[in-house]
Amino acid sequence: MSDISEAIYILQKALNDAYYYAWQSNIAMAHIDAERWYKKENNKKFLNKKDKHIIANNAAKYFLDLLKSNPINPFKQTRCVLFEKFHPIIPCETIGL
C-alpha cells in the first residue's frame, strides 16, 4: 500500500461523528468564504454558472491550502490550524488531532 493510500485509509477510519462534522463544516465554510471574496473582488451581487465554477475551484484550493499549511506530525504536539480557524469550540483532541 502506498503512503497516500495508507493516509487516506487512516483518514477514512478516523472520520467519527465530530471529525466528520468538522471536515464537512470546514469545506462548507471555505465555499462561503470563497463566494464572499469573489463577489467583493468582482463587485457582483448575482452569480452565473461561470462564476460558480470559479468559486468552487477557489474554495477547493483554499481548503487544501489550509490543510497543507500546518502538517500534522504524530511525534510532535501541534495545533489544529484548519479546524481552529472555523471551529474554535471543538478541541483538537475531540476529533483525534
State the pTM of this model: 0.67
Q: pLDDT tens, 11-52? A: 888 888 778 888 899 899 999 999 999 999 999 999 999 999
Planar angle of CA 61, 64, 69, nearest 5 degrees:
120
Is residue 3 assigned to a domain?
A: no
Is residue 59 assigned to a domain?
A: yes
Cβ atoms < 10 Å from Cβ of 17: 9
Q: Can you say how many angstroms the Cα of residue 30 is from the centroid of all Cα atoms in its chain?
A: 7
8 A C-beta contact, residue 85 and residue 52:
no
| Domain coverage including residue 88 | 16-95
**What is the C-alpha to C-alpha distance for residues 13 and 20, in angstroms, rounded to an integer?**
11
Is residue 50 assigned to a domain?
A: yes
Is residue 9 assigned to a domain?
A: no
Q: How many domains does the chain divide into?
A: 1
DSSP state, 95? Answer: G
Is residue 34 assigned to a domain?
A: yes
Is residue 89 assigned to a domain?
A: yes
Take residue 26 and report the three cell numbers written for it: 470546514
Burial class (CB in 10 A: 0-12, 13-18, 19+), 63: buried
pLDDT tier at 85, thresholds 50, 70, 90: low
Is residue 47 assigned to a domain?
A: yes
Is residue 11 assigned to a domain?
A: no
